């Protein structure tokens, strides 16, 4: 049954200025973290992570935790994909991986004993539903053995689903296992586009999963789309958007396809002659934004839209929105503990990333070591800039006096070079700069990453990120 949209005026309408976007779009970080992952160092290792957790214990931390589990397996390859994944039909590999993943969860659970209350869980990949129903049950029972989970009404427990891999019964089972939010990969409904990216997914198949999620009582259903794929054009995008609006999800994410075949082998199978031009991409984005806003969806930020009564939209209106490696979140200021290959944790003032291959992952866990490969410890300047970038990404405005209250700086003096660079963006109409507030205009919200890049010390002082860094993509 479609949800009724509460008639709340959209507080953040976008001003889509195609000419300005063409002028200012550039490669930049997505700022799921600051410093960004390309700045992590192998000098930070397992023992540094242990020290960060020990520091939490010493300070008597009572903050809730966020958990992320990375399930890297997929049955088949989608040519556009840039995720850390392993494509195999040999499900024995999942049995081995689950065993090691449970061992890592136990190691983390022992570390956080006494401060292990979880309010957020996300399973990503790959395809988390590559695990069988029985394996998922085993995993969830193991998580509850080592961590204390907040009640269903409080916690946000989400899983990414490939609609091609689950039945109605599996969706109902996922809800019984404790998940209350679900994200579905759709990308595009057009058959020619689906064939071009090797992801055949009939609309009826996706709709059946959405219907099952509603029947099961999931609190939120999210759909992921991509624009810029081969064979896409404004006409096909319009049809896809209408079908998505009809499906009535609570949240919609529409991502810009990043074509980096030199980094991701599956993308080499895409015929570049079939790719839409930059102008066609912009037209598709403009169309999607216009139709989603007409349908009552609120722009959250970056690529995300939500119904005005969705938790994300409510959190944004109330100033509680947060951003981390899982994207936008209603649960602010939590330590993020991540398990699985390539997963990134954010504990105290540190980031740490696990090794990226199964062999290295298994080897370190066999040595009873957490499989940390690299990371970074944040200094005061990092923490300050992270706060600023986080605030701008989530709320599109920044109170300079509030920053001065939280950090031992005079904003105008400390950020004098940044304020000078912001004047250029102000002349372009992206921001307004007052004596106490920095505000992003409706025209600047789609280019929020450009604004945040002004405050990125690493971009200003260090060598640029390696060519094609996976932390970077076109800002639009």
The pTM for the full model equals 0.91
Is residue 189 marked as binding? no
**Cα(73)–Cα(123) distance, rounded to whole angstroms?**
12
Is residue 127 marked as binding? yes
Choosing from 301, 320, 336, the residue where a domain stops is 336
Query: Residue 218's CB: how many other CB atoms inside 10 A?
Result: 22
Residue at 332 is within a domain: yes
Residue at 350 is within a domain: no
Is residue 74 marked as binding? yes
Is residue 468 marked as binding? no
Residue at 455 is within a domain: yes
Taking only the tens of pLDDT, the chain with its 476 residues reads 333 333 334 455 788 888 888 888 888 888 888 999 999 999 999 999 999 999 998 988 778 999 999 999 998 899 998 887 888 988 899 999 999 999 999 999 999 999 999 999 999 988 999 999 999 999 999 999 999 999 999 999 999 999 999 999 999 999 999 999 999 999 999 999 999 999 999 999 999 999 999 999 999 999 999 999 999 999 999 999 999 999 999 999 999 998 888 888 899 999 999 999 999 999 999 999 999 999 999 999 888 999 999 999 999 998 888 887 777 888 777 899 999 999 999 999 999 999 999 999 999 999 999 999 999 999 999 999 999 999 999 999 999 999 999 999 999 999 999 999 999 999 999 999 999 999 999 999 999 999 999 999 999 875 555 444 455 667 67
Q: Do 16 and 51 have their domain in common?
A: no
Q: Do 181 and 247 have their domain in common?
A: yes
**Cα(403)–Cα(415) distance, rounded to whole angstroms?**
11
Choosing from 283, 313, 336, the residue where a domain stops is 336
Q: Do 275 and 126 have their domain in common?
A: yes
Is residue 42 marked as binding? no
Is residue 267 marked as binding? no
What is the count of structural domains for the chain? 2
Is residue 78 marked as binding? yes
Residue at 343 is within a domain: no
Residue at 363 is within a domain: no
Q: Do 293 and 413 have their domain in common?
A: no
Strand pairing report for 156-161 and 472-474:
unpaired
Q: Do 185 and 211 have their domain in common?
A: yes
Is residue 80 marked as binding? yes
Is residue 125 marked as binding? yes
**Cα(254)–Cα(286) distance, rounded to whole angstroms?**
11
CATH, residue 113: 3.80.30.20
Is residue 82 marked as binding? yes
Q: Do 23 and 128 have their domain in common?
A: no
CATH, residue 416: 1.10.10.920
Q: Do 188 and 206 have their domain in common?
A: yes
Instruction: Write the DSSP string, 19-84.
Output: HHHHHH--EEE--SSSS-GGG-BTTS-HHHHHHHHHHHHHTT----EEEEEEE-EESS--TT--S-
Q: Do 386 and 308 have their domain in common?
A: no
Q: Do 124 and 265 have their domain in common?
A: yes
Choosing from 313, 336, 359, the residue where a domain stops is 336
What domain range is 17 assigned to? 7-35+379-476
Residue at 365 is within a domain: no
**Cα(237)–Cα(215) distance, rounded to whole angstroms?**
28
Q: Do 232 and 282 have their domain in common?
A: yes
Is residue 160 marked as binding? yes
Q: Do 118 and 224 have their domain in common?
A: yes
Q: Do 70 and 209 have their domain in common?
A: yes
Residue at 87 is within a domain: yes
Residue at 358 is within a domain: no
């Amino acid at each position: 049954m479609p949800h009724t949209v509460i008639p709340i005026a959209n507080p953040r309408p976008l001003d889509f200025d195609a000419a300005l976007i063409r002028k200012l779009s550039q490669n930049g970080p997505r700022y799921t973290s600051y410093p960004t992952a390309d700045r992590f160092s192998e000098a930070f290792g397992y023992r540094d992570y242990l020290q960060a957790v020990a520091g939490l214990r010493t300070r008597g931390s009572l903050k809730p935790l966020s958990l992320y589990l990375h399930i890297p397996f997929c049955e088949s390859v989608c040519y556009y994909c840039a995720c850390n994944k392993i494509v195999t039909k040999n499900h024995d590999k999942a049995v081995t991986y689950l065993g090691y993943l449970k061992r890592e969860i136990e190691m983390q659970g022992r570390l956080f004993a006494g401060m292990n209350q979880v309010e957020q869980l996300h399973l990503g990949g790959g395809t988390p539903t590559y695990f069988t129903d029985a394996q998922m049950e085993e995993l969830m029972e193991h998580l509850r053995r080592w961590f204390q989970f907040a009640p269903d009404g409080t916690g946000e427990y989400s899983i990414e689903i490939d609609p091609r891999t689950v039945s109605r019964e599996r969706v109902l089972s996922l809800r019984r296992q404790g998940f209350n939010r679900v994200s579905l990969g759709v990308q595009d409904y057009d058959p020619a586009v689906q064939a071009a990216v090797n992801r055949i997914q009939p609309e009826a198949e996706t709709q059946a999963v959405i219907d099952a999620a509603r029947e099961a009582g999931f609190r939120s259903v999210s759909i992921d789309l991509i624009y810029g794929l081969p064979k896409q054009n404004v006409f096909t995008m319009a049809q896809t958007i209408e079908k998505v609006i009809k499906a009535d999800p609570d949240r919609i994410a529409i991502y810009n396809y990043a074509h980096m075949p030199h980094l991701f082998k599956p993308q080499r199978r895409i015929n570049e002659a079939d790719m839409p031009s930059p102008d066609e991409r912009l037209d598709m984005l403009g169309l999607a934004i216009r139709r989603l806003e007409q349908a009552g969806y609120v722009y959250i930020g970056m690529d995300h839209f939500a119904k005005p009564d969705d938790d994300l939209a409510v959190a944004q209106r109330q100033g509680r929105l947060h951003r981390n490696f899982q994207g936008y979140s209603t649960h602010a200021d939590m330590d993020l503990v991540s398990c699985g290959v390539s997963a990134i944790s954010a504990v105290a003032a540190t980031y740490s990333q696990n090794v990226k291959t199964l062999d290295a992952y298994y080897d370190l866990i066999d040595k009873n070591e957490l499989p940390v490969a690299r990371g970074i410890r944040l200094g005061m300047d990092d923490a300050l800039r992270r706060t600023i970038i986080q605030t701008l990404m989530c709320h599109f405005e920044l109170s300079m006096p509030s920053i001065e209250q939280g950090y031992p700086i005079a904003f105008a003096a400390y950020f004098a070079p940044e304020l000078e660079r912001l004047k250029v963006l102000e002349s372009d109409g992206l921001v307004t700069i007052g004596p106490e507030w920095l505000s992003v205009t409706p025209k600047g919200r789609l280019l929020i990453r450009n604004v945040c890049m002004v405050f990125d010390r690493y971009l200003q002082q260090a060598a640029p990120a390696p060519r094609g860094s996976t932390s970077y993509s076109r800002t639009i």
